[in-house]
Amino acid sequence: MRKARSVFIWAVVSLCMIVLITLPVNLQTQLITSITVVTVMALIKVLKGEGTWRLVALAFGTSIVLRYVYWRTTNTLPPVNQLENFIPGLLLYLAEMYSVAMLALSLFIVATPLPPRPSRAANPGRLPHVDVFVPSYNEDAGLLGNTLAAAKAMDYPAEKLHVWLLDDGGTLQKRNSGKLLEAQAAAARHVELKQLCQDLDVHYLTRDRNEHAKAGNLNNGMKHSTGELIAVFDADHAPARDFLLETVGYFEDDPKLFLVQTPHFFINPDPLERNLRTFDKMPSENEMFYGIIQRGLDKWNAAFFCGSAAVLSRRALESQNGFSGISITEDCETALALHGSGWNSIYVDKPLIAGLQPATFASFIGQRSRWAQGMMQILRFRFPLLKRGLSIPQRLCYMSSTLFWLFPFPRTIFLFAPLFYLFFDLEIFTASGGEFLAYTLAYMLVNLMMQNYLYGSFRWPWISELYEYVQTVHLLPAVVSVMLNPRKPTFKVTAKDESIAVSRLSEISRPFFVIFAVQIIALVITFYRIYAEPYKADVTLVVGGWNVINLIMAGCALGVVSERGERALSRRVRVNRRCEFGANGKWYTASIEDVSVHGARLHIFNKQLDEMLVGAVGEIRFRPYSGAELETLPLIVRNIEPSGDISNVGCQYVPKSALDHRLIADLMFANSGQWTEFQASRRRNPGLIRGTVWFLGLALYQTSRGLVYFFRSMRPEREAQQRQAAKVNAG
């Protein structure tokens, strides 16, 4: 009832404001109106207005946006008889209308998202048989061992938990390949992973042929298993102990439920976070989707399958002949088919798995290209707006999720539009400087404020624009390609266990430096035109300011594609668990301070620890979450650093058995609470002004860093070193 009242109030306020949208007013009145609306929205934000007040602020913002759309449509398009102006002017107009449409869909989805659901772990209800699928293609045995061990260690009755490794890298087709090296590698992998699964007491399953990519692999798993529910984890997504207890109970509540999806939490930064060094202080890119958007979709029964960290109903999947495989994004396509058949979904907003993101910028772009192309295939083959069986809100939700990936087109137009005027004197936007201030600048400011209302603690100002810009350069050809030939894209596994030994420029960085150089030239032309054509200075200043915004974004992107070298092979996570450390026949009281998938750092309460222990084989004893007895994990001492009464000891694991993998998984992944705490530590809203100032500082520094990397790369020996590093990463 309260929700309905809030939506009604928002609608009434919006309708009242719409009446004012078409009123003819002079420039001064429009400027005063814009300032008033911005002030009201700012006051509501400062006073932390929530609920109805939040909707009122969004309604005020919506009125400014619609006023801008009306003015933009009726007053700013170039004459049709001036094709050199009209065609690029129309493209710019369509790009802006796309942005407005996406804002409208965002408002519909996330204006009032569902609150996070309470924990079910204490009272999960009936516990059915669950098949856990871990599909794999080319991941190494160590990574898979940790994930499988974590899955096997989930808090669930052992007789009802069935873990399966679905190996698509050791298929009969690959083992019999005509390429000798490929066949030998597949055969060796097949033997190694079968032994790993035997040691971990999980099922190993492969198939004859690699057909229909991941969807085909999952469907093959369904043919050989019988569990009522199916949990899916990517090869690098290790679940916490309480994953199933937090999810399976919902299927007892709703017999028409086909999906319980949880967030994808990552323990390592993506390339932007790593190169900009924002991982520990700013929310990750995916948190906007998993922290807000999925909860908004959930409100309309449109939360969709994201390929991993989810539990699905076998009965629902069998009703649609398993996982869909027409597109290369089988997850969203499967959810769309099941929603269209009357099944329901639920989103549980609690990080219950820890995974890995692509480490290099090239791998990051490869992953996003697959997502973009897959969503375009769904848009082409399934067209959600006309999909039978979906409710109207579900249609809008799926259209939002697919249309989002068209962003490379408007981003490209926004990037080049000011250059049309500065380089070629084309008037693609017929307005004076005063009109731009009263309408366009007000629209841009209100748009930023509305985004801050919707996503403030999950996405800081200008970060969305940066992510979209760095993807646009390479995603645009990928999206165009799938539009021209929608059946061409094939599923490609994203490499996520890479490391960068040497600082270098990304191998796909060159276009960003070219764009930056062009915008520097445009900046020089701006100053020249202001001097040479003072009678058009107002318009030149406006267009030049637009180009400066693009230049700031392009400069920050230079830092993104300047890959920082890393000494550590994997990300460390703070844990603070008591243990005992033993080496050379002596035992010491210690605590485990941080861990990674490769090693741990210990605090040993002995300031005179013998440095001769470096290189020695030792072990730690600790109590796993899943047991009452102390367990022992072998390791090698890598370094010792005295610090007061404590010695900091860096260790590397030396796993020798399946039990060792289980202990590593227990140290690293078992406790889901640590992921929640880490996310909460980054979720703060800097506000629009402070966030903008922060971004400007970040952009200036990253511009200089990118240029330093560029000039270093000009040295022949440096370039050879970078090529060698790239080959190592590719291998």
Q: Which residues are catalytic?
A: 168, 331
Distances (CA, A) of 549 to 254, 408, 469, 511, 546: 50, 17, 12, 18, 5
Q: Other C-beta atoms within 10 Å of 656: how many?
A: 10
Provide the token pair at 620: 């730690």
Sign of torsion over alpha carbons 77, 83, 89, 95: positive
User: Do 64 and 446 touch, CB atoms closer than 8 A?
Assistant: yes
Provide the token pair at 438: 């009263």
- Among the residues of 533-657, which ranges form H helices? 537-560
Q: Which amino acid is at 694?
A: W
Buried/exposed code over 383-395 (b: 16+ C-beta within 10 A; e: otherwise) = ebeebeebeeebb
Measured distance CA(134)–CA(464) in Å, rounded? 32
Distances (CA, A) of 292 to 116, 450, 451, 487, 650: 10, 14, 12, 32, 38
Measured distance CA(300)–CA(322) in Å, rounded? 24
Helix (H, G, I), strand (E, B), or coil: what is residue 599? strand
Measured distance CA(463)–CA(469) in Å, rounded? 10
Q: Which positions ≥6 away from 161 have C-beta within 8 Å?
A: 130, 132, 152, 154, 244
User: Do 447 and 136 touch, CB atoms closer than 8 A?
Assistant: no
Helix (H, G, I), strand (E, B), or coil: what is residue 440? helix
User: Do 469 and 553 touch, CB atoms closer than 8 A?
Assistant: yes
Measured distance CA(546)–CA(554) in Å, rounded? 12
Sign of torsion over alpha carbons 689, 693, 694, 699: positive
Measured distance CA(279)–CA(328) in Å, rounded? 29
Pairing, β 646-653 against β 504-505: unpaired
Measured distance CA(317)–CA(333) in Å, rounded? 12
User: Do 597 and 570 touch, CB atoms closer than 8 A?
Assistant: yes
Strand partners for 553: none
Strand partners for 724: none
Sign of torsion over alpha carbons 148, 235, 284, 557: positive
Pairing, β 617-622 against β 631-643: antiparallel
Q: Other C-beta atoms within 10 Å of 701: how many?
A: 15
User: Do 189 and 170 touch, CB atoms closer than 8 A?
Assistant: yes
- HEC-encoded secondary structure of 87-143: HHHHHHHHHHHHHHHHHHHHHHHHCCCCCCCCCCCCCCCCCCCEEEEEEECCCCHHH
Measured distance CA(599)–CA(650) in Å, rounded? 8
User: Do 331 and 304 touch, CB atoms closer than 8 A?
Assistant: yes
Q: Nearest Cα to 602, choosing from 664, 632, 646, 571?
A: 646
Helix (H, G, I), strand (E, B), or coil: what is residue 602? strand
Helix (H, G, I), strand (E, B), or coil: what is residue 378? helix
Measured distance CA(373)–CA(328) in Å, rounded? 8
Helix (H, G, I), strand (E, B), or coil: what is residue 583? strand
